[in-house]
């Protein structure tokens, strides 16, 4: 029997927008459409706009939960090994877990016998160097399990969000909703260039993010 699948496609479903595309769109809205068409921006402008995009991208990622970023990440446990790299999961998808956005941690024996792990390892547990069925975990520079697994029959399972793209190259694709990034970065860029409509775009960015947050509740109801 084939192993059960717990994720959709590796692609998060967001519109595919690159750093370069975002940079040129912002440049046009700043009044540099002619230079964009000619393929020559003023000296230093490309780096400046890229920095506005990266900043907005990071801020928005931390500010609100972007839909379709949550996945299950899986690590194959090794007998006697307590520490596992954050980017060492065994999934075919290259997304990397963001340790600040973890929603569930547990282990499973193959695809069965799922068990939650308790967050936090009391240092007094280190008094005895034992192996067995892991019951606790901590995420620091890596993921630590306690006790170390006695065999390789179990898998570490973490449900959480993958981190944002670094946006180092013009071809790198944004992780966060591109329209939210565009509005926030454009507002900051317009403020930098002292354009009077900067506040309009800042307000639009806030309203857009609020609408996305409202949509993320889906059919949940609260009392």
Q: What is the pLDDT of residues 82-94, one digit of tens each?
A: 999 999 999 888 8
pLDDT digits (tens, 9 = 90+) for 201-214: 999 999 999 888 77
The pLDDT assigned to 65 comes to 72
Residue 112: band (very low, low, confident or very high) from pLDDT cuts 50, 70, 90: confident
Closest-CA residue to 198 (of 185, 211, 210, 207): 185
Report CA-CA distances (Å) from 123 to 100, 130, 146, 170. 22, 14, 10, 45
- In this predicted structure, the answer to whether residue 7 has a pLDDT above a threshold of 60 is yes
**What is the pLDDT confidence band of residue 122, given thresholds at 50, 70 and 90?**
very high
Residue 192 CA to its chain's centroid (Å): 28
173 strand-pairing partners: 18
Are 135 and 146 in contact, with CB atoms under 8 Å apart? yes
Q: What is the pLDDT of residue 13?
A: 67
Task: Calculate mean pLDDT across residues 23-48.
Answer: 97
pLDDT at 218 over 80: no
Is the whole model's pTM more than 0.85, yes or no? no
- Of 223 and 25, the structure prediction assigns the larger pLDDT to 25
Q: What pLDDT is attached to residue 52?
A: 98
Give the Cβ contact number of residue 22 at 10 Å.
26
Contact 14, 174 (CB under 8 A): yes
**CA 131 to CA 63: how far, in whole Å?**
40
Q: Please determine, for residue 215, whether its predicted confidence score (pLDDT) is greater than 90.
A: no
Residue 217 has pLDDT above 70, yes or no: no
Task: Collapse the DSSP code of 220 into the 3-class scheme (helix H, G, I; strand E, B; otherwise coil) and give the result.
Answer: coil
Per-residue pLDDT tens for 140-175? 999 999 999 999 999 999 999 998 889 999 999 999
């Amino acid at each position: 029997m084939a192993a059960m699948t717990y994720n959709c496609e590796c692609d998060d479903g967001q519109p595919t927008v690159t750093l370069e595309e975002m940079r040129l769109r912002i440049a046009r809205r700043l009044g540099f459409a002619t230079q964009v068409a000619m393929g020559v921006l003023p000296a230093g402008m490309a780096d400046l706009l890229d920095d506005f995009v990266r900043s907005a991208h990071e801020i928005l990622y931390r500010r609100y939960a972007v839909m379709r970023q949550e996945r299950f990440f899986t690590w194959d446990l090794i007998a006697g090994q307590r520490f596992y790299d954050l980017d060492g999961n065994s999934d075919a998808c290259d997304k990397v877990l963001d340790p600040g956005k973890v929603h569930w941690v547990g282990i499973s024996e193959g695809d069965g016998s799922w068990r939650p792990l308790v967050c936090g390892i009391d240092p007094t547990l280190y008094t005895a160097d034992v192996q067995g069925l892991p019951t606790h975990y901590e995420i620091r520079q890596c993921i630590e399990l306690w006790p170390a697994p006695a065999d390789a029959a179990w898998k570490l399972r973490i449900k959480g969000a993958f981190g944002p793209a670094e946006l180092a190259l013009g071809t790198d694709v944004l992780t966060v909703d591109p329209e939210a990034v565009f509005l926030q970065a454009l507002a900051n860029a317009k403020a930098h260039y002292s354009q009077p409509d900067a506040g309009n775009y800042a307000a639009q960015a806030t309203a857009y993010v609020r609408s996305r947050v409202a949509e993320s509740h889906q059919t949940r109801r609260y009392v």
